[in-house]
Structure 1
Amino acid sequence: MAFINTLYNLWPNGDQKIRGLRDGIAASAPAVFKKYKIDTPLLVAHVMAQISHECGAGHDIVENLNYTAQRAHEVWPSRFPTMASAEPYAHNPRALANKVYNGTKPDGSDRMGNRPGTDDGWNFRGRGGSQTTGRDGYERVAKQTGLDVVNNPDILIDPKFFLECSVSDFINCGCLPYAKADDVVNVTKRLNGGTIGLDQRKEWLVRWKKALGEGPIDFTVPSEAQTTPTVPTAPTPSKPASTVPPPKPSAPSVTNPSPGSLGEFIASILSAIFGKKK
């Protein structure tokens, strides 16, 4: 089965948030995997398993930070030791992002490169297939890909660049050696910073391995002509059948007077006279 068909099967609603996302991934896959030496079905399976989990198969492409106070307290207890301390950030995604992701050092070196007193936490929140997070992470992707994701963060979710940015982050985080060893635990630790969602990542890996198999991967993408349904042309209306015009009435004469004319009156008198003689 071709890679694009596998992607459509495993990400059935993958275009729900970004139109054309799956086609963009499939079209860029051959060049991206070649560039970053993702050159075996095993490596492709590890990359796609992590991406599938991180972005929810295309559903969670930008980190949702619309938290309740209770949830913020649970996720970041050191930053919000009490419910009262979390209340100002409830349902305030921008303020929450800057609170939990911005550093305290001027260069942001203590928190992913995010500088204090800026919108770095918000601008560089989790985004894309690998949920790249932090100014440092965005700068690494920019340096490796040549794409200006620092000044234009939404490049990470552009269908044309979605896969490359994700793979770049996968490489930058040091996942590749562990993927080669088929070590999903350490791949997860390198990308995630922990083992959050490990069971789900393992499930994705099983599904991708099964779908891709062990042989060469078919990266063929149907051409537009093959995938675009043919629009039927409107039938040419047939010409109406020709009709023979009715014959014109004969011109009035003595033997054929027009109705109501003097000729008709005289004809009626003559008919009455001669008709009586018969």
Structure 2
Amino acid sequence: MYRITPELLKEVAGASVNKKVVDGLVKYLPEALEKYKINTKLRIAHFLAQIAHESDHFRTTEEYASGAAYEGRKDLGNVRKGDGRRYKGRGVLQITGRANYHTYGKKLGYDLENNPELAATPEVSVLTAAQYWQDRGLNELADADNGKQITRKVNGGYNGLNDRLSKVQRAKRALDKAEQVKDLPPKPKQETPIQDLPSRPVEPVEPLPIIAQGLPFEPEENNG
């Protein structure tokens, strides 16, 4: 396993970074990379390149825009007034829309639908990205060094392809110089326990077939 350091992430970004975002990634990435088997040079390089691009060079875990543009977007599950802003893009892969928040929260054991801001926290931000990576079979594409197809599955198209591929090369070079370690660092303590977060009730909404901005998603089947 490669040691994830601020220096490594800065080299991947190739630009100025947000120290708070980088520190959060350094804290929570190691365990997530191990859990989701993003554990080879190629897999880590492609993963870091994609989250670096989507987070504006590790500068933000929340979309800069207000989210108002998503208001009324039923394809995102935004069927109630205020859903556009409430479920704006958050996380290093920018999950967007009520349906994505509902489904990812259910997968990861967090009430993201009632606490959408939680999706922008370092731990959950990393977990949603790694879960998506696994769900879409992106380790296999990384093994084939297929950055173009990874970009299509992350972005829904090829926006920013050149920057993403450039970051893959930067990540490879950075990993060549990175220290490899056998053991993970101690598991970090969760900064804000979910039970301490204020819960704002919302009526459940059936997840809809959607393609979220920057994050195409296939909702789970409803067997009930």
SS for the counterpart of 1:213 is helix
State the partner residue of 1:150: 113
Distance 2:140 2:87 in 1: 27
Q: CA deviation at 1:205?
A: 0.6
1:113 has 2:77 as partner: yes
Higher mean C-alpha displacement, 174-183 vs 44-53: 174-183
Q: Give, as a single letter, the amino acid of the residue that structure 2 aligns with 1:114.
A: N
User: For residue 112 of structure 1, what is the amino acid of its counterpart?
Assistant: L
Q: Which residue does 2:70 correspond to in 1?
A: 97
Q: Is the 8 A contact 2:41 2:172 kept in 1?
A: yes
User: Structure 1 residue 133 and structure 2 residue 106: aligned?
Assistant: no
TM-score, normalised to structure 2's length? 0.70
Contact preservation (8 Å) 1:41, 1:215: no
Alpha-carbon separation, structure 1, partners of 2:23 and 2:50: 19
Q: Structure 1 residue 174: deviation in Å?
A: 4.2
Query: Counterpart in 2 of 1:27?
Result: 27
More displaced 10-residue stretch of structure 1: 119-128 or 48-57: 119-128
Counterpart residue number, 2:158: 195
Larger radius of gyration: 1
Aligned to 1:6: 8
Match of 1:182 among 129, 145, 148: 145
Q: Which amino acid in the other structure matches residue 148 of structure 2?
A: V
Task: State how far apart, in whole Å, the 1-side matches of 2:69 and 2:76 are.
Answer: 16
Rounded to whole Å, the distance in 2 between the matches of 1:96 and 1:48 is 28
Return the alpha-carbon distance in structure 2 between the equivalents of residues 45 and 181 of structure 1: 12
Is residue 53 from structure 1 mapped to residue 26 from structure 2 by the alignment?
Answer: no
User: Distance between the aligned counterparts of 1:131 and 1:220, measured in 2?
Assistant: 26
Distance 1:183 1:153 in 2: 32
* Residue matched to 2:208: none
**1:11-90 superposed matches below 5 A:** 11=13, 13-15=16-18, 19=20, 21-65=21-65
Structure 2 counterpart of 1:152, one-letter code: N
Q: Aligned-residue CA RMSD in angstroms?
A: 2.7
8 Å CA contact retained: 1:29, 1:163:
yes
Q: 1:132 to 1:95 in 2, by over 3 A?
A: closer
Q: Distance in 2 between matches of 1:28 and 1:96?
A: 31
Q: Which has the higher contact order (CA 8 A, sep 6+)?
A: 2
For residue 256 of structure 1, what is the aligned residue in structure 2? none
Q: How far apart in 1 are the matches of 2:160 and 2:138?
A: 16
